[in-house]
Amino acid sequence: MLAQMSPVALTAAMLVLSNLFMTFAWYGHLKHLGSQPLVVAILVSWGIAFFEYALQVPANRMGFGVMSLSQLKILQEVITLSVFVPFAVLYMGEPLKLDYLWAALCLVGAVYFIFRA
């Protein structure tokens, strides 16, 4: 199945998975490790971030062959918001805000300008 995916689709899929790890590494400790010493949160986050980088680095190498650096970056930002909003609302219990929509619309503009021919 992976061999049948286009490089762009495979890059995006790997970046989504990478972003899940990144989001938990950056913010998951706020929910579960607040009473632990900071060094514990740092070490746990580094452990999670290893898996982020294990996916992100090869995804960017693969994607760079078919997308520009700017396109890779904007793709990453779209994925980041797409992963972060459900994480914030469903996992962290944050309220769903209209500001997420406005941020997404700004990213639509960024996608347009970076990916246009």
pLDDT of residue 1: 65
Model pTM score: 0.88
Q: Where are the beta strands (DSSP E) in 19-110?
A: none
Instruction: With cut-offs at 50, 70 and 90, classify the pLDDT of residue 4.
Output: confident
pLDDT digits (tens, 9 = 90+) for 76-108: 999 999 999 999 999 999 999 999 999 999 999
Residue 3: pLDDT over 70:
no
Q: Which residue has the higher pLDDT, 117 or 61?
A: 61
pLDDT of residue 33: 93
Domain coordinates in residue numbering, the chain: 2-115
pLDDT digits (tens, 9 = 90+) for 32-68: 998 999 999 999 999 999 999 999 999 999 999 899 9
Q: Alpha carbon of 69 to those of 66, 73, 74, 101, 114: distances in Å?
A: 10, 6, 9, 26, 10
